Amino acid sequence: MSFCPNCGQPLTRKIPPGDHLLRYVCTACGTIHYQNPRIIAGCVIETEGKLLLCKRAIEPRLGYWTHPAGFMENGESVAQGAAREAMEEALAKVKIGSLLSIVNVLHAHQVHITYRATLAEPGYGVGVESLETRLYDEAEIPWQDIAFLSVRFALQRYLEDRRLGVERMHGQDIDWQHGKLVTTER
């Protein structure tokens, strides 16, 4: 971020009066431009006892597996965003269920919010952002080729809860500390 979205003049970074963090502030009109974390809305879809996963056709982590998930859009709820991603990535019309996990990815300025889901209509396919989609039995899940730590966390907790017959909400923080990624369950 280099120029003011309001007036087009150069930005500087400074701590505004009464604030405690460096912000982008316009050198001409004085507008403060805040930056905030973005929500990744997703869902773990179960049908016939199997989980529907997508092989990513885009970077980052092209070729790795994930449940449908992506940036939440203005004008939708988190659950609507999760259902939209299921349609876009797996051509799946889903019914969103209970909240499964909230994962704070601190270094990426993202919050990954994932719901349980089932197919509202039979059938699924391969969306433009996927190379392949597939139903996986628990024993077949490609744990070595999962795209993101937050996806691994959601899938693991989903399966543990299913074994126990419960639907809990799980929290995790992911951050770089001393040169490595550290995960903390909350």
Q: Is 139 in the site for a second copy (CB under 8 A)?
A: no
Which partner, Zn ion, a second copy, none, binds residue 26 by CB below 5 to 8 Å per kind?
Answer: Zn ion
SS3 142: coil
**Interface pick for a second copy out of 16, 27, 32, 37 (rule CB under 8 A):** 37
Contact 96, 117 (CB under 8 A): yes
Answer positive or negative: Cα dihedral of 82, 128, 134, 150.
negative
Tokens of 175: 């951050």
**Interface pick for Zn ion out of 24, 25, 26, 70 (rule CB under 5 A):** 26
Neighbouring C-beta atoms of residue 184, cutoff 10 Å: 11
Distance CA 157, CA 154 (A): 5
**Interface pick for a second copy out of 25, 45, 78, 155 (rule CB under 8 A):** 78
**Interface pick for a second copy out of 25, 44, 102, 155 (rule CB under 8 A):** 102
For Zn ion (CB under 5 A), the number of binding residues is 7
Residue 8 Cβ, how far from Zn ion at the closest point, in Å?
7
Contact 121, 45 (CB under 8 A): no
Q: Is 122 in the site for a second copy (CB under 8 A)?
A: no
Residue 32 Cβ, how far from a second copy at the closest point, in Å?
12
Contact 10, 4 (CB under 8 A): yes
Residues in the site for a second copy, rule: CB under 8 A?
1-11, 18, 21, 33-39, 71-79, 99, 102, 104, 106-107, 109, 111, 113, 128, 169, 171, 173, 186
